[in-house]
Amino acid sequence: MQQIIKRARIIGTGSYVPDIVYSNEYLESFLETSSVWIYQTLGIKERRIARQDEATSDLAAKAGIRAINDAALGVDDIDLIIVATATPDRLAPSTATIVQDKLKAYNAVAFDLAAVCSGFLFSMSVAAQYISSGVYQNVLVIGADTFSKITDWERRDAVFFGDGAGAVVISNENDNRGFLSFRLYSDGRGKDNFTIPAGGSEKPSSHSTVDNRLHYFRMNGKAVYDTAIKVLPEAINQVLVDTGLNISDVDFMVPHQPSIGILKKTAELIGLPFGKVMTNMDRYANTSGGTIPILLDELKKSRRIKKDNIILFAAVGSGWTYGASIIKWS
């Protein structure tokens, strides 16, 4: 379903990554992999890893307060907090309420949104619609994950992910800038291609599920690649049609960071020079919900983004979930 959003813009960004670094060379010391293969295939050189006593909410709160400060607001100005995560602190309550408490942002409504690697894009859409409808004025959207907590460090696919959090504050826009369009999609036929098999109501935690290592993520890498290079161009082309823009109008693509191969193929299929595709997976790997906001925060802080730039967001995640959005920067 097409979603045209007006009068909603990003007014602040923030991010946080843990201090611990796992390099490719470190991982090849105990996994059946090589640092060269990881970098050439995935584009990753290193990733950040949360401490044992560091939860998703800790990363999220640090990114969130930085975004609030960047927006020149106080915590009491935030009306709604949305946390996009696949690695919540607990099954209940929501990580967003834990973040709310850590920020002392008690004026805000708070809830989580679960769409894995597409979660931040989906959450921005929800926030923009709350702003557009006038229900809320300032929405804090956080993408945060600690995939190291659900990674089987005996499997080769441990190389894909890192931990991190990014955040934006979305508020009113009084002219023709801001979000121009969202297109979001889901396809549950892909539910088994990236999953955490146990820990929910389908397979409750037990000695058997722990012994069989069913609380770690399982991924069909080929299915992820094949799906991503099919659905990302479709979603991107649709938001271009929605806005009447051409791919040549795009100044930056700020995508989820699944692998360098997926991004290069997507850019080729949509006709976008790869120099316009922003990446930071070499330093952080795939931080799931954190990828887009961490990258956006880095671009904003480096002053690369200018007023009236056309920025394309795109993401694909477990489910399948996927989508794209276009914003005219203000």
- Catalytic, 107? Answer no
Contacts with 134 (C-beta within 8 Å, 6 or more apart), sequence order: none
Residue 303 gets the label, from left (phi > 0), alpha (psi -120 to 50) or beta, of left
> Omega before 255 cis (within 30°)?
no
Look at residue 289 and give its three-state secondary structure.
Answer: helix
Closest C-alpha among 1, 22, 25, 310 to residue 178: 310
Question: How long a stretch of residues is the chain?
Answer: 330
The neighbouring-strand residues paired with 15 are 166
Spatial CB neighbours of 86, under 8 Å, sequence gap ≥ 6: 114, 116, 117, 119, 145, 147, 196, 288, 289, 318
- DSSP β-bridge partners for residue 321: 186, 317
Query: Which position among 24, 117, 138, 193 bears the catalytic label?
Result: 117
- 256 catalytic? Reply is yes
Give φ, ψ of 321 to 5 degrees. -130, 145
* Catalytic hit among 24, 138, 193, 286: 286
Active site residue 220: no
CB 316 within 8 A of CB 256: yes
Give the amino acid at 40: Q
Tell me how far apart the alpha carbons of residues 311 and 258 are, in angstroms, rounded to a whole number. Answer: 19
Among 172, 193, 256, 280, which one carries the catalytic annotation?
256
- The first and second tokens of residue 225, run together, are 């690649």
Q: Which residues are catalytic?
A: 117, 256, 286
